[in-house]
Amino acid sequence: MKLYSGPLSLFTAKVRVALDEKRLACELVSVPFSRAGGYQPKHPDVLAINPKGQVPVLVDGPVALYDSTIILEYLEDRHPEPPLYPRDVAERARCRQLEAAADEILFPLVFELISEVFYKAGDARDAQRIAGARAAIGAHYDGLEQRLGDRPWLCGEFSVADIGYALTITFAANLGVPLGDAHPRLQAWYGRVIARPSVTKELTGLAGAMERATA
């Protein structure tokens, strides 16, 4: 297998963690990134496979896929052990919904901060946009705290929902919205997630990539 992977791409980070959890060997092709130019120019292989021109892109023999959610589902179908989705059909659907919520509800709020905090400095930043995004992220944490309850993981056992949410929350924390005192269950859950070797490895790599991008 070959994974076209961005050094600061949350979505490729999800796939890298899943590959490590499933102990699958994979050739990583790092797509060049800079703070000034982003992923421009686009990698030609990525453009040839993904009409959106985005990473991650996974190539497994004759199969070429893009979109982290589709890739995660493919890996589970192709390599079901150890599982990263519940076995029960209804619980699996809820897990997919949570993974999608991390991508489609929480991450757009985090991207507001990426746009204003990571790519801009000083007076160029929109303080109102930043404050609105931080408030909305905090409200999302509140809802997730209630949903988690006393369970150790979001979907019974460790799953793609935990991977997606933990990585998105890590990005949010690095941009000024960490989990706070109002979220003790989430803090304990987050500690469990980042203690997994696959996630520890990924966060170390992301930290190094961030240092290089901001140097």
pLDDT range class, residue 171, cuts 50, 70, 90 = very high
DSSP state of 104: I
- Alpha-carbon gap, residue 16 to 202, rounded angstroms: 7
Let me know the angle formed at the C-alpha of 57 by 11 and 204, rounded to the nearest 5 degrees: 40
Domain check: are 26 and 118 in the same one?
Answer: no
What pLDDT, on the 0 to 100 scale, is given for residue 213? 79
Rounded to an integer, the average pLDDT of 65-83 is 98
Domain check: are 57 and 94 in the same one?
Answer: no
Position 47, amino acid? L
Q: What is the CATH number of the domain that holds 118?
A: 1.20.1050.10
- Alpha-carbon gap, residue 168 to 203, rounded angstroms: 11
Domain membership of residue 170 (yes or no) is yes
- Alpha-carbon gap, residue 13 to 101, rounded angstroms: 17
Q: What is the CATH number of the domain that holds 39?
A: 3.40.30.10
The predicted-structure confidence for 19-67, as pLDDT tens digits, reads as follows 999 999 999 998 987 777 677 778 999 999 999 999 999 999 999 999 9
Mean pLDDT computed over every residue of the chain? 95
Q: Of 41-45, 72-76, 196-200, 209-213, which range is least confident?
A: 209-213
Residue among 83, 81, 51, 82 nearest 64 (CA): 51
Q: What percent of the chain has pLDDT over 70?
A: 99
What's the order of all strands across the beta sheet hosting 57-60?
Answer: 27-30, 2-5, 57-60, 63-66
